[in-house]
Structure 1
Amino acid sequence: MTERWLLAWGTGYAAVGAASLLIPLYAIELGAGAFLVGAMASTAAFAGVPGAILWGRLAARTRRRRPFVLVALASVAGVLGVIPLLGSPWTLLVANAALWFVVSAAAPVLNLIVVEGAPAADWDVRIGRLNAVQGYGWVAGLVLGTVWTATVARMLPAATAQELLFLVLAATSAAATLAAVRWYPERPTTSPERFARVFHRLNRTDWGAGRYLRATPYGTTRLYWGIREWVDARRRGRQPGGSFDAPLRRYLLAVALFSVGFAVFWGPMPVYLTESGASTGTVFVLFLLANAGSAVCYSPVGRIVGQRGPYALQAVALGGRALLFPGIAVVGIAAPAVAPYANAVGFTLIGVTWALIAVTATGIVTRLAAEPVRGYALGAYTAIAGIGTGLGSVLGGGVAEVAGYPATFAGAGLVVLAALGLFRRSVSLDGGGSDAAA
């Protein structure tokens, strides 16, 4: 895996990172409400899974990799280039789903590329490196959006500036496609079957989940291979889910709850900020601060977890989010004059708590799961988090339109608080866990 190949894919992912926020903001300019924006986040979470499954099967049957990656990058350029021509928020919902379908479809193919020629012991490092490049590309896209709205958008109407930015992102992805054509590595020979056999033995704690915030927090890479491994196990007559201990089952339920709670908060957030008077540039800055708070803390949190264990840190992070989510609404109502500054601090802290949760969650599942079912437990955890994100996003948008944003953010905090209570029942915060961990 060459540095130039990573640069090409990371450049394409920068366009995706900027578009992830630009699409809902453009939909708002066209009249979209909280429900539709939440539905966009939901489709982003769900659309990638069938794309990865379909393309993963096609890549396995054709034993080819190059066309799928190039089509993904070229399709991103095509979707982003067409968006300025769309005049309805509902057509943007379809375009957003198409974007995430093609981006996520490349995930299993990329895994096979990056591990080619390496011993299985090095696969974690290589996949983590790929995800780190994607994460940094994602943040670079948000930086581009921030700079664009602070400069070009000041000289043009908001919708026109956003349409021009879509064209810039389309050109960026097209350039990434051309670079990939030239820098793509030799045709790999690692088979999907071999990757699937090794997948349950991989550590997965260094796969970069906490480096950045996105609609699907745990990524299609882990979700696709986890689902594939689970289905293959059931076809062979094994029932790994039946072997999960009670503490692990309770923790997975807590994961479902807090994933829904997180998404209820984030789903309608662009609409809330816009309706509160925030400019497009301010929205980009706030999301950038959240991502920066997560990225900066990712490695230090990993070191702290190694010293003190994951349980107390995750409890602190969940408790913090349970307070921060409704706190955003309270400040907006009680002190609107200072709300922009409070939001900056709040979003940064929320990003920090995400780093705590992303780093500790995989370690907790690993400790609670007995060795024979550990790989299946990690796959189940990833799938549950992704599904919870999709459901919570559309739920948050619907609640916001019916009951308003204060009720939505308070409800998100209560769901996270319930997850914290269930989490406390699953583990002891002094470093102990289930009998399996002992």
Structure 2
Amino acid sequence: MTADRWLYAWALGYAAIGAASVLVPLYALSLGADAFTVGLIAATGAFAGVPGALAWGRLASTTGRYRPFVLLSLGAAAGAFAVFPFVSSVWAVVVANAALLFAAAAAAPVLTLLAVADVPESGWDTRIGRLNEVQGYGWLAGLLAGTVWNAAVAGRVLDTLPAQRWFFGLSAAVTGLAFVLAWRWLPQPTVSIARFGRSTASIERLLRGSGHATRITPFGGLRSFWAIRRLHPRTLAERLTPALATYLGAIFLAFTGFAAFFGPLPAFLTDLGYGSTEVFVVFLASSAASAAFYARAGALATQYGARLVQLTALAARVLLFPAVALVALLPALPGFLALLVLFLVVGVTWAVVAVTATSIVTRLAPPAIRGDALGAYGALGGVATGAGSLLGGWLATSAGYTAAFVAAGGFVLAGAILAARQT
């Protein structure tokens, strides 16, 4: 337990970042943002994380120092949180959010090394699983904290905008506390990035994820850095099989559809008249359902095959995404209950896709390029998340939410058809 203290310090800061994943778009909407800007916030956040991880990883390798980069990330995140309450421009929110997620993702490669410090290589997988699990549940705790804060304060003690600004201030304080605790508790890594990079089994474990809450943030810096680092495009292109190429294309289309749905979603819920509390509850329900269903998803994939289980989940999302738009036709309370049911199912389907996708990539890839294939999967997922968020926001603004959600389902359908042909 003592050895894990620094993990809880990081999870404390990551809880604030989890809450920000919903709070930032809601804050932008309070300042007058439209659906396109909300999608842009999601897209820039997705794109900012990868260069952050790559830059910090390169600097850590060059200097041979690791602890300072986690501390810099926590300090920068606290600074970004402190900026939000004083921002009144939507575009400043976009920039501040990109800076926040750059800082959060930048620590990714160093966190891995800290997790396996002073641990024999045979125990690395367990430590990676522990890191992923604590971080994932930190994210969930942040969503829960945001839900409770908005239920207790927003509209009761304070108006919505001041309540959001106070929560950003509290997030800055919590992340500052995480910085102090991490400064005291962070171990000194005994493993270099180069040495860990040679551990094929451990990196593949990291890319697949482990623990029930691992894949809530599927293409965050923790996995994206090692995915891209393992990717050798020339080697992959030379040995890429038609089946693997088709499946990677299917993944790109499906994840573009996922992001096209989730990108403008906070704006959609707000336009329906739901307050911050209800929006937090919807996202919390989806994330919690995912975390709770991972083990069952793995068991189903083992029993019925990853291909069939994944295609079922994708088919469900093809219907679920447009169905969310129909909630606008229902009265407030029945509509919100319908939303909760839909998003519980959306969360379950994500657990299935997350568990099965890496297994399918691993099975389709020849052994010589398995690492490159997993790297390509991580990289394509990250790009699709950014591109899909932009697309969904643009469609919602120019053609309406129904068009955006139908298009999202269409991308998922196209991905499912390709996946069905080659898996």
Instruction: Give the TM-score band, short-chain normalised.
Output: over 0.9
Residue 361 of structure 1: which of 350, 357, 360 is its match?
357
**Contact 1:256 1:388 survives alignment (8 Å):** yes
**Contact 1:37 1:271 survives alignment (8 Å):** yes
Correspondence for 1:94: 95
How far apart are the structure 2 equivalents of 1:417 and 1:339? 26
Is 1:26 aligned to 2:27, yes or no?
A: yes
- Per-residue deviation, 1:202: 3.7
- Per-residue deviation, 1:191: 1.3
Residue 377 of structure 1: which of 365, 368, 373 is its match?
373
Residue 157 of structure 1: which of 152, 156, 159 is its match?
159
**Contact 1:200 1:376 survives alignment (8 Å):** no
Correspondence for 1:124: 125
How far apart are the structure 1 equivalents of 2:202 and 2:337? 45
Residue 295 of structure 1: which of 278, 285, 291 is its match?
291
How far apart are the structure 1 equivalents of 2:266 and 2:214? 17
Residue 401 of structure 1: which of 391, 397, 400 is its match?
397
How many residues matched?
Answer: 420
Q: Which consecutive aligned stretches of 4+ in structure 1 deviate over 3 angstroms post-superposition?
A: 199-203, 334-337
Q: How does 1:252-267 map to 2 (within 5 A)?
A: 252-267=248-263
**Contact 1:11 1:176 survives alignment (8 Å):** yes
Correspondence for 1:436: none
- The 1:212–1:222 alpha-carbon spacing in structure 2 relative to 1, beyond 3 Å, is closer
TM-score by length of 2: 0.96
Correspondence for 1:9: 10
SS where residue 3 of structure 1 aligns? helix
How far apart are the structure 2 equivalents of 1:189 and 1:357? 35
How far apart are the structure 2 equivalents of 1:334 and 1:343? 10
How far apart are the structure 2 equivalents of 1:8 and 1:38? 31
Q: How does 1:31-42 map to 2 (within 5 A)?
A: 31-42=32-43
- More deviation, 318-327/67-76: 67-76
Is 1:274 aligned to 2:260, yes or no?
A: no
Correspondence for 2:213: 211
How far apart are the structure 2 equivalents of 1:247 and 1:420? 14
Correspondence for 2:57: 56
Residue-by-residue CA offset, 1:360-418 (whole Å, 9 max, x unaligned)? 00111111111111111111011111110110001100010000001110111111111
SS where residue 213 of structure 2 aligns? coil
SS where residue 203 of structure 1 aligns? helix
Q: What are the ranges of 5 or more consecutive residues in structure 1 without an aligned counterpart?
A: 428-438
Give the counterpart letter for 1:419 in structure 2.
Answer: G
How far apart are the structure 2 equivalents of 1:155 and 1:223? 41
Give the counterpart letter for 1:179 in structure 2.
Answer: L
Is 1:225 aligned to 2:221, yes or no?
A: no
How far apart are the structure 1 equivalents of 2:202 and 2:344? 34
TM-score by length of 1: 0.92
- The 1:49–1:209 alpha-carbon spacing in structure 2 relative to 1, beyond 3 Å, is farther
Give the counterpart letter for 1:217 in structure 2.
Answer: P
How far apart are the structure 2 equivalents of 1:146 and 1:289? 11
**Contact 1:129 1:207 survives alignment (8 Å):** no
Give the counterpart letter for 2:174 in structure 1.
Answer: T
Give the counterpart letter for 2:183 in structure 1.
Answer: V
- The 1:15–1:24 alpha-carbon spacing in structure 2 relative to 1, beyond 3 Å, is same
Is 1:147 aligned to 2:137, yes or no?
A: no
- Per-residue deviation, 1:195: 1.5
**Contact 1:209 1:218 survives alignment (8 Å):** no
How far apart are the structure 2 equivalents of 1:384 and 1:419? 13
How far apart are the structure 1 equivalents of 2:89 and 2:328? 30
Residue-by-residue CA offset, 1:303-330 (whole Å, 9 max, x unaligned)? 2223332111100100000000000112
Correspondence for 1:82: 83
Residue-by-residue CA offset, 1:140-174 (whole Å, 9 max, x unaligned)? 00100000011111221100001111111111111
Correspondence for 1:430: none
Give the counterpart letter for 1:148 in structure 2.
Answer: W
Residue 334 of structure 2: which of 317, 332, 338 is its match?
338
Give the counterpart letter for 1:102 in structure 2.
Answer: A
How far apart are the structure 1 equivalents of 2:304 and 2:352? 13
SS where residue 199 of structure 2 aligns? helix
Question: What is the root-mean-square deviation of aligned Cα atoms in Å?
Answer: 1.7
Give the counterpart letter for 1:359 in structure 2.
Answer: V
